[in-house]
Structure 1
Amino acid sequence: MITNQFILFLNLGGGEVVMIVLVILLLFGGKGIPTIAKTLGKGIREFKDATDGIKKDIRDSTSGITDQITEHIQEVKKEVEKD
Protein backbone atom coordinates (compact mmCIF):
# COMPACT_ATOMS: atom_id res chain seq x y z
CA MET A 1 0.00 0.00 0.00
CA ILE A 2 2.79 2.41 0.88
CA THR A 3 4.55 1.55 -2.37
CA ASN A 4 1.43 2.36 -4.41
CA GLN A 5 1.03 5.69 -2.64
CA PHE A 6 4.72 6.47 -3.16
CA ILE A 7 4.51 5.72 -6.89
CA LEU A 8 1.36 7.83 -7.21
CA PHE A 9 3.10 10.62 -5.31
CA LEU A 10 5.94 10.63 -7.80
CA ASN A 11 3.45 10.40 -10.67
CA LEU A 12 5.28 7.45 -12.22
CA GLY A 13 3.72 5.28 -14.86
CA GLY A 14 4.28 1.58 -15.48
CA GLY A 15 7.01 2.19 -18.04
CA GLU A 16 9.01 4.39 -15.71
CA VAL A 17 8.78 1.84 -12.90
CA VAL A 18 10.01 -0.93 -15.22
CA MET A 19 12.93 1.23 -16.34
CA ILE A 20 13.89 1.99 -12.74
CA VAL A 21 13.79 -1.71 -11.85
CA LEU A 22 15.95 -2.56 -14.89
CA VAL A 23 18.52 0.10 -13.96
CA ILE A 24 18.64 -1.23 -10.39
CA LEU A 25 19.15 -4.76 -11.74
CA LEU A 26 21.97 -3.58 -13.98
CA LEU A 27 23.70 -1.60 -11.24
CA PHE A 28 23.41 -4.04 -8.34
CA GLY A 29 22.70 -7.40 -9.95
CA GLY A 30 20.29 -10.05 -8.77
CA LYS A 31 22.31 -10.90 -5.64
CA GLY A 32 22.47 -7.30 -4.37
CA ILE A 33 18.75 -6.59 -4.53
CA PRO A 34 17.77 -8.61 -1.39
CA THR A 35 20.43 -6.74 0.59
CA ILE A 36 19.16 -3.41 -0.68
CA ALA A 37 15.56 -4.37 0.09
CA LYS A 38 16.51 -5.51 3.61
CA THR A 39 18.40 -2.28 4.30
CA LEU A 40 15.56 -0.19 2.91
CA GLY A 41 13.05 -2.11 5.04
CA LYS A 42 15.11 -1.53 8.18
CA GLY A 43 15.37 2.18 7.37
CA ILE A 44 11.63 2.48 6.87
CA ARG A 45 10.99 0.60 10.13
CA GLU A 46 13.36 2.89 12.07
CA PHE A 47 11.70 5.96 10.58
CA LYS A 48 8.25 4.66 11.48
CA ASP A 49 9.35 3.83 15.03
CA ALA A 50 10.82 7.31 15.41
CA THR A 51 7.64 9.00 14.20
CA ASP A 52 5.54 6.78 16.49
CA GLY A 53 7.77 7.80 19.40
CA ILE A 54 7.35 11.47 18.58
CA LYS A 55 3.57 11.06 18.33
CA LYS A 56 3.53 9.31 21.72
CA ASP A 57 5.62 12.08 23.29
CA ILE A 58 3.24 14.72 21.93
CA ARG A 59 0.20 12.80 23.18
CA ASP A 60 1.77 12.35 26.62
CA SER A 61 2.75 16.00 26.91
CA THR A 62 -0.68 17.26 25.86
CA SER A 63 -2.71 14.83 27.96
CA GLY A 64 -2.41 17.09 31.01
CA ILE A 65 -3.69 20.03 29.00
CA THR A 66 -6.61 17.97 27.73
CA ASP A 67 -7.51 16.96 31.28
CA GLN A 68 -7.41 20.60 32.43
CA ILE A 69 -9.63 21.70 29.55
CA THR A 70 -12.11 18.93 30.34
CA GLU A 71 -12.20 20.03 33.99
CA HIS A 72 -12.84 23.65 32.99
CA ILE A 73 -15.62 22.60 30.63
CA GLN A 74 -17.26 20.64 33.45
CA GLU A 75 -16.98 23.67 35.76
CA VAL A 76 -18.55 25.95 33.15
CA LYS A 77 -21.38 23.47 32.60
CA LYS A 78 -22.06 23.39 36.34
CA GLU A 79 -22.11 27.19 36.50
CA VAL A 80 -24.49 27.40 33.53
CA GLU A 81 -26.81 24.81 35.05
CA LYS A 82 -26.94 26.78 38.35
CA ASP A 83 -28.20 29.89 36.60
Structure 2
Amino acid sequence: MFLFISGAEIVFILFLVVMIFGADKLPEIARGLGKGMRQLKDATNEVKSEIQKSADKNGVDTSFTKDIQKEIGQVRDEIEDFSGSVKRKL
Protein backbone atom coordinates (compact mmCIF):
# COMPACT_ATOMS: atom_id res chain seq x y z
CA MET A 1 0.00 0.00 0.00
CA PHE A 2 1.59 3.26 -1.12
CA LEU A 3 0.01 6.14 0.79
CA PHE A 4 -3.49 4.86 -0.03
CA ILE A 5 -2.99 5.58 -3.74
CA SER A 6 -4.46 3.10 -6.20
CA GLY A 7 -2.77 1.88 -9.35
CA ALA A 8 -4.95 4.06 -11.58
CA GLU A 9 -4.02 7.16 -9.59
CA ILE A 10 -0.31 6.34 -9.85
CA VAL A 11 -0.64 5.93 -13.63
CA PHE A 12 -2.46 9.28 -13.85
CA ILE A 13 0.26 11.00 -11.80
CA LEU A 14 2.97 9.48 -14.01
CA PHE A 15 1.06 10.64 -17.10
CA LEU A 16 0.97 14.19 -15.71
CA VAL A 17 4.69 14.09 -14.92
CA VAL A 18 5.48 12.97 -18.47
CA MET A 19 3.26 15.69 -19.91
CA ILE A 20 4.79 18.42 -17.74
CA PHE A 21 8.48 17.47 -17.82
CA GLY A 22 8.74 15.34 -20.94
CA ALA A 23 9.99 11.78 -21.30
CA ASP A 24 13.63 12.84 -21.70
CA LYS A 25 13.69 14.39 -18.19
CA LEU A 26 12.19 11.38 -16.37
CA PRO A 27 15.47 9.51 -15.75
CA GLU A 28 17.03 12.68 -14.34
CA ILE A 29 14.03 13.30 -12.09
CA ALA A 30 14.03 9.66 -10.92
CA ARG A 31 17.75 9.83 -10.13
CA GLY A 32 17.21 13.02 -8.13
CA LEU A 33 14.31 11.51 -6.19
CA GLY A 34 16.29 8.34 -5.51
CA LYS A 35 19.29 10.32 -4.32
CA GLY A 36 17.09 12.45 -2.07
CA MET A 37 15.39 9.40 -0.59
CA ARG A 38 18.78 7.76 0.05
CA GLN A 39 20.04 10.91 1.81
CA LEU A 40 16.90 11.04 3.94
CA LYS A 41 17.27 7.37 4.88
CA ASP A 42 20.96 7.83 5.72
CA ALA A 43 20.19 10.88 7.86
CA THR A 44 17.43 8.99 9.67
CA ASN A 45 19.73 6.05 10.35
CA GLU A 46 22.44 8.42 11.58
CA VAL A 47 20.03 10.07 14.03
CA LYS A 48 18.85 6.67 15.26
CA SER A 49 22.46 5.59 15.73
CA GLU A 50 23.32 8.73 17.69
CA ILE A 51 20.29 8.31 19.93
CA GLN A 52 21.19 4.65 20.56
CA LYS A 53 24.82 5.56 21.36
CA SER A 54 23.70 8.29 23.74
CA ALA A 55 21.24 5.95 25.46
CA ASP A 56 23.89 3.25 25.81
CA LYS A 57 26.41 5.77 27.14
CA ASN A 58 23.98 7.01 29.77
CA GLY A 59 22.75 3.55 30.74
CA VAL A 60 19.23 3.98 29.41
CA ASP A 61 17.41 0.70 28.73
CA THR A 62 15.95 0.82 25.20
CA SER A 63 14.97 -2.84 24.91
CA PHE A 64 11.29 -1.95 25.40
CA THR A 65 11.24 -0.23 21.99
CA LYS A 66 11.50 -3.59 20.24
CA ASP A 67 8.39 -4.79 22.06
CA ILE A 68 6.56 -1.60 21.08
CA GLN A 69 7.59 -1.99 17.44
CA LYS A 70 6.35 -5.59 17.49
CA GLU A 71 2.98 -4.51 18.91
CA ILE A 72 2.68 -1.71 16.33
CA GLY A 73 3.40 -4.22 13.56
CA GLN A 74 0.71 -6.56 14.83
CA VAL A 75 -1.85 -3.75 15.02
CA ARG A 76 -0.92 -2.59 11.51
CA ASP A 77 -1.38 -6.13 10.19
CA GLU A 78 -4.77 -6.42 11.88
CA ILE A 79 -5.89 -3.07 10.44
CA GLU A 80 -4.74 -4.09 6.95
CA ASP A 81 -6.60 -7.39 7.25
CA PHE A 82 -9.75 -5.59 8.39
CA SER A 83 -9.56 -2.85 5.78
CA GLY A 84 -8.92 -5.45 3.08
CA SER A 85 -12.11 -7.29 3.97
CA VAL A 86 -14.06 -4.01 4.04
CA LYS A 87 -12.70 -3.00 0.61
CA ARG A 88 -13.70 -6.35 -0.85
CA LYS A 89 -17.24 -5.96 0.45
CA LEU A 90 -17.61 -2.50 -1.07
Q: Normalised by the size of structure 1, how large is the TM-score?
A: 0.66
Structure 1, unpaired ranges of 5+: 68-83
The residue that corresponds to 2:35 in the other structure is: 42
The residue that corresponds to 1:25 in the other structure is: 18
**In structure 2, what residue type is equivalent to 1:48?**
K
Q: Deviations over 1:7-54 (max 9, x none)?
A: 2x2x21121111111101101111100000000011001101100100
SS in 1 for 2:22: helix
Structure 2, unpaired ranges of 5+: 62-90
Q: Normalised by the size of structure 2, how large is the TM-score?
A: 0.61
**Equivalent residues, number:** 60
Q: Does 1:14 align with 2:3?
A: no
Greater percentage in helix:
1
Q: Displacement, 1:58?
A: 0.6
Q: Percent same amino acid among aligned pairs? A: 37
Q: Displacement, 1:66?
A: 4.1
Write the distance in 1 (CA, Å) between the matches of 2:40 and 2:28. Answer: 18
Question: Where does structure 1 differ by over 3 angstroms across 4 or more consecutive aligned residues?
Answer: none
**In structure 2, what residue type is equivalent to 1:23?**
L
Write the distance in 2 (CA, Å) between the matches of 1:20 and 1:40. Answer: 15
SS in 2 for 1:12: coil
